[in-house]
Structure 1
Amino acid sequence: MVIAAIVAQHFEATIKDHPKMKLRKIQKIYTSEMHVNVCIDFCYRAKKIVKEKMIENSKEEFRQFWDYAHELRSKMPGNTIKMVVQRVTVDSPPHFKRFYVCFDALKKGWKAGYRPLIRLDGCFLKDPFKSEFLAIVGKEANNQMFAIA
């Protein structure tokens, strides 16, 4: 007997790499690799299982940001660490919004050898939460490009 959990387990890496893969394609690949005919509902449930697992893994990783921020504050005082969370209601759990870290050594080095910024660069990340990554681009004393992410 083939159940959706087996299909999800077999295609977990494929669905993670290609989250927009069509259900018919999953069905066709599974049939050719495993020599078992599965209905489209099984593929739908398998894809849903994998996506829920990805979201749960992301939530667990975001929960670890609190520990990371606390460890940075305790081991290296002087760092600027800001984390912004959002709550829908007062009783609801916090939802991660933003995380900012600026190390004390970078602040001191930046102030000592200030160079004008060339540009602010950014890109959109393709994850279940549709996030954005920003970086500052500048030049060092020997005309080498650098980026601070």
Structure 2
Amino acid sequence: MVTAVMIAQHFEVTIKDHPKMKLREIQIKCGFEMHVNVTIDCCYRAKKIVKEKMAGNHKKEFGLLWDYAHELRSKMLGSTIKMVVQRVTIDFLPHFKRYYVCFDALKRG
């Protein structure tokens, strides 16, 4: 029996490259490549698994931006580091807007 996790692993790269891929296309590809018949629901769950994994990577990388800014501030005194984020409401996580870095050496010429 083929599970959504198995389909997600098999088509992870394809779904990442084509996030708007239709569920029917995934179902057809399962037939050709894996030689199994799967339901649309199973394809939906597989696509959801891949998308959640991608979103998790973004959250981890976003967290690293704060660490990078802190490290620059502590090691390169005189440099300007600004990170702008936007919050829709207090309950939501911030969304990255822009990142500005001007090194002290560039300021001095």
Shorter-chain TM band: 0.7 to 0.9
Q: Deviations over 1:81-120 (max 9, x none)?
A: 00122334446543333221122223333xxxxxxxxxxx
Determine the structure 1 residue equivalent to 2:53. Answer: 53
RMSD over equivalenced CA pairs, Å: 1.7
Q: Deviations over 1:113-132 (max 9, x none)?
A: xxxxxxxxxxxxxxxxxxxx
Q: Distance in 1 between matches of 2:101 and 2:51?
A: 29
SS of 1:42 mapped into structure 2: helix
What does 1:33-44 correspond to in 2, within 5 Å?
33-44=33-44
Determine the structure 2 residue equivalent to 1:27. Answer: 27
Letter in 1 for 2:103: F
Which structure shows the bigger proportion of residues in helix conformation? 2
What does 1:1-149 correspond to in 2, within 5 Å?
1-90=1-90, 92-109=92-109
**Structure 1 unaligned spans of 5+:** 110-149
What TM-score do you get using the length of structure 1 for normalisation?
0.65
Q: Distance in 2 between matches of 1:16 and 1:10?
A: 12
**Structure 2 unaligned spans of 5+:** none
Q: Deviations over 1:7-47 (max 9, x none)?
A: 11111111111111222221111211111111111111111
Aligned sequence identity (%): 75
What TM-score do you get using the length of structure 2 for normalisation?
0.86
SS of 1:82 mapped into structure 2: strand
Q: Distance in 1 between matches of 2:10 and 2:95?
A: 31
Letter in 1 for 2:19: P
Residues 67, 29 of structure 1: CA spacing in aligned structure 2 closer, same or farther, 3 A cutoff? same
SS of 1:19 mapped into structure 2: coil
Letter in 1 for 2:45: R
Letter in 2 for 1:53: K
Residues 93, 19 of structure 1: CA spacing in aligned structure 2 closer, same or farther, 3 A cutoff? closer
